[in-house]
Amino acid sequence: MTQEEDVEFLRSKALRVRSHIIRMIAEAGSGHPGGSLSATDVLVSLYFKVMNVDPSRPDWPDRDRFVLGKGHACPALYAVLAERGFFGIEELLTLRKLGSRLQGHPDAKKTPGVEASTGSLGQGLSIACGMALAGKIDRKSYRVYALLGDGEIQEGQVWEAAMAASHYRLDNLTAILDHNGLQIDGRVEEVMSVEPVQDKWKAFGWHVLTVDGHSFEDILNGFKEARALKGRPTMVVAKTVKGKGVPFMENGVEWHGTAPSAEQAAEALKLLG
């Protein structure tokens, strides 16, 4: 496929994933649409063009690993895993239901393709560091990716993990910041500013690059650069829009953890086309 064909393919997948997210959360009556929609394009890029995974063998030892630090955005992860073939699309509508494998935060013991049980913010990067360090020790070629949220990097444990990753020269680790500028209580800069975010990660010894988190060309080029880098981990700061794809949700902090009504879901799906 040409790059143009790749991008068109990813756009179509992202549209399906965003539609799944709206349907899932509306059916459940609870969930986190804003951050799921902002992370969609990064996740689609990873699972359909970047990561080496095999849905028929979720525990394949040489697979690339992905850790969702901001576990509340799991509707996006579940939708991508289903589209990738880890489980059936029909299972998505069981989100948050009693007995479902798709709970409100990821459960690695139950859900195929989920590498780590996350949701307590700040722990994801530490888990990813452990996976990357194990890969180095075992001389494995797999890579590890971790997606973090703006509010999440206010947690001190993130910076302990950042320091460890740099110290151990984990060039098989790439972190992505879903930099949409909003968290549950409001604007990140008003709650607890993380700026200058690029300089902070550089100070901790990471290679840092900034991409448009909704441009597949930008995202893919960023991951290509990270893969080529040797000797230190990479942080990809993805500039995103909370609620991306649904105009009435975009940049609205109220959509951090609010499910759309049936009418709002129908309107969102119409807007998504």
Residue-wise pLDDT for 210-247, tens only, equals 999 999 999 999 999 999 999 999 999 999 999 999 99
d(CA 53, CA 60) in angstroms, rounded, equals 8
Mean pLDDT of the chain: 97
Measured in degrees and rounded to the nearest 5, phi and psi for residue 193 equal -60, 140
Write down the pTM of the prediction: 0.97
* pLDDT at 104 (0 to 100): 97
Q: State residue 1's pLDDT score.
A: 72
142 has pLDDT over 90: yes
Work out the angle at residue 259's Cα, subtended by the Cα atoms of residues 111 and 108, and round it to the nearest 5 degrees.
Answer: 15
Q: Please report the pLDDT score of residue 240 as a whole number.
A: 98
- Alpha-carbon span 207 to 235, nearest angstrom: 6
Q: Which pLDDT band, with edges at 50, 70 and 90, does 2 fall under?
A: confident
Write down all domains in the chain, each with its CATH number in brackets: 3-272 (3.40.50.970)
pLDDT tops 80 at residue 184? yes
What's the rounded mean pLDDT across residues 197-206? 98
Cα dihedral angle (80, 15, 23, 108), rounded to 10 degrees?
10
pLDDT at residue 177, rounded to an integer: 98
Q: Give the pLDDT confidence of 150-177 residue by residue, as tens digits.
A: 999 999 999 999 999 999 999 999 999 9
Separation between Cα atoms, residue 91 and residue 124, nearest integer Å: 25
Q: pLDDT tens digit string along 18-67?
A: 999 999 999 999 999 999 999 999 999 999 999 999 999 999 999 999 99
Task: Please report the pLDDT score of residue 3 as a whole number.
Answer: 78
Q: What are phi and psi of 135, to 5 degrees?
A: -60, -40
